[in-house]
Amino acid sequence: MTPALIRASSPAAGVTELEYTSLGKTGLRVSRVGLGTWQFSDAWGVTRYEDAKAVVARALEVGVNLFDTAMVYGRGMSEEFLGRALRELGARRDEVVVATKIPGDYLHPDDIPRAVEASLKRLGLESVDLMQVHWPPCWHNFPTCRYMRALERLVELGKIGHLGLSDYPVELAEAARYCLARHDVEVIQVRYNLAERMAEEEHLPYAEENGMSLLAWSPLAKGAILGKYTLEEAERIQDLRARDPLFRPSNYRQLLRLAEAIKAVAERYGKTPAQVALNWLITASSTVIPIPGARSPRQVEENAGAAGWRLSFSDWRLLDEASRGLRLSYLPG
Ligand SMILES: NC(=O)c1ccc[n+]([C@@H]2O[C@H](COP(=O)([O-])OP(=O)(O)OC[C@H]3O[C@@H](n4cnc5c(N)ncnc54)[C@H](OP(=O)(O)O)[C@@H]3O)[C@@H](O)[C@H]2O)c1
């Protein structure tokens, strides 16, 4: 994809222009809410290219310009659909920020250039804006400095714009940064939503202190905090959520109570529960950028409407209190 091929996106009629922020210290301007594209996979079910393209088209129309994908999503389907859609929709290369991820299993230093090349080919890009290590290598003993230096070389060679780490404990993130000579880690990506707030303990202060962005994955808790499914419906969900602990009755029952609180706040603002759940994340920290997934153009548009306004302190606190009462368990059974 050459920069000339991509056209500027502008907000559709009637849609408020989105809020933007900087991605880490990169100087890249990204929408305050991004789009996660794991949904373009068997796991989530958006497997027709035209459906994925419609989601990306709506994102561009409402001003979303940060797109998160990964080599493993749909075994390449997500990268392929995203790249093709951006190309066909004429998105300007300098106005979209494409973030992908390399899994921990692909981090043998000799494999990295091949894996990145294949990812760029699927995306149809000469270079990707952000390459995140998806998770730390755990079975192969790849030395941290060997793979971080191999990735840094690809930054020097112009194949990767910036580096990020996903699902890294902060101690390991610190060790990984120590290996880099000329570049820094600009993004930490972790699970973070109103029900699952462990990121506030270490990752968020670490990102804030070091000028990184924290990309919040599953910022809607995969829909479990929105009250959109009754307990019975939640038990019947057939996609990847069937195995997600949040959807087990003992957890989901509690989340339905949190969803009630979110809904009550949303009604006061004339917003939707999803908009309030995402806004709660950005109200408390300029470092957090949620990357909600969307299965339809309507969801993308709704999620973009989570930015450009803020919850009051008292409403932020009300939801803070409601979520602190949760006692979730991740143990089977
Ligand atoms: N780094 C990592 O390890 C990691 C892990 C997970 C995800 N991620 C990234 O984070 C992104 C988001 O996380 P996620 O997909 O796990 O969960 P999520 O964003 O919390 O939830 C997405 C789901 O919520 C529902 N939804 C979205 N917008 C909605 C709206 N406005 N109203 C009602 N329901 C709505 C949709 O499902 P239904 O319509 O079917 O209910 C959608 O598929 C992924 O796409 C991926 O890019 C990264």
pLDDT tens digits, one per residue of 77-90: 999 999 999 999 99
Q: Active-site residue among 73, 106, 147, 206? A: 73
Confidence of residue 332 (pLDDT cuts 50, 70, 90): confident
20, pLDDT greater than 50: yes
Ligand 1, residue 193: give the atom nearest the CA.
20
Residue 311 to residues 143, 276, 300: CA-CA distances in angstroms? 44, 8, 20
4, pLDDT greater than 90: no
CA of 21 to the centre of ligand 1 (A): 21
As a whole number, the mean pLDDT across the chain is 94
pLDDT tens digits, one per residue of 199-209: 999 999 999 99
Confidence of residue 17 (pLDDT cuts 50, 70, 90): low
283, pLDDT greater than 70: yes
Domain 3-223+286-311, CATH among 3.40.390.10, 3.20.20.100, 3.90.1150.10, 3.20.20.60: 3.20.20.100
**Interatomic CA distance for residues 59 and 300, integer angstroms:** 6
Instruction: Confirm or reject: Cβ of 80 under 6 Å from ligand 1.
Output: no
Instruction: Confirm or reject: Cβ of 44 under 6 Å from ligand 1.
Output: yes
Verify whether residue 73 is a known catalytic residue: yes
**Interatomic CA distance for residues 63 and 162, integer angstroms:** 22
**Interatomic CA distance for residues 94 and 79, integer angstroms:** 18
Place of tokens 């470092």: 287
CA of 77 to the centre of ligand 1 (A): 17
In this structure, which residue's CA is closest to atom 16 in ligand 1?
Answer: 218
pLDDT tens digits, one per residue of 146-171: 999 999 999 999 999 999 999 999 99
CA of 196 to the centre of ligand 1 (A): 14
User: What predicted TM-score, i.e. pTM, was given to this entire model?
Assistant: 0.96
Ligand 1, residue 190: give the atom nearest the CA.
1
**Interatomic CA distance for residues 188 and 27, integer angstroms:** 16
Instruction: Confirm or reject: Cβ of 31 under 6 Å from ligand 1.
Output: no
Of 98, 100, 101, 73, the closest CA to residue 87 belongs to 98
What is the average per-residue pLDDT within 168-178? 98
**Interatomic CA distance for residues 220 and 243, integer angstroms:** 17
Q: What integer pLDDT is reported at residue 333 of this predicted model?
A: 74
State percent of the chain over pLDDT 90. 93
**Interatomic CA distance for residues 100 and 81, integer angstroms:** 13
Place of tokens 């019975």: 232
Domain boundaries, the chain: 3-223+286-311
Q: What integer pLDDT is reported at residue 64 of this predicted model?
A: 98
pLDDT tens digits, one per residue of 193-250: 999 999 999 999 999 999 999 999 999 999 999 999 999 999 999 899 999 999 999 9
User: Exposed, middle or buried by CB within 10 Å (0-12, 13-18, 19+), for 284?
Assistant: middle
Of 27, 50, 161, 44, the closest CA to residue 100 belongs to 161
Instruction: Confirm or reject: Cβ of 38 under 6 Å from ligand 1.
Output: yes
Confidence of residue 16 (pLDDT cuts 50, 70, 90): low
Instruction: Show Cβ contacts of residue 275 under 8 Å, excluding neighbours closer than 6 positions.
Output: 266, 269, 302, 303, 305, 306
1, pLDDT greater than 70: no
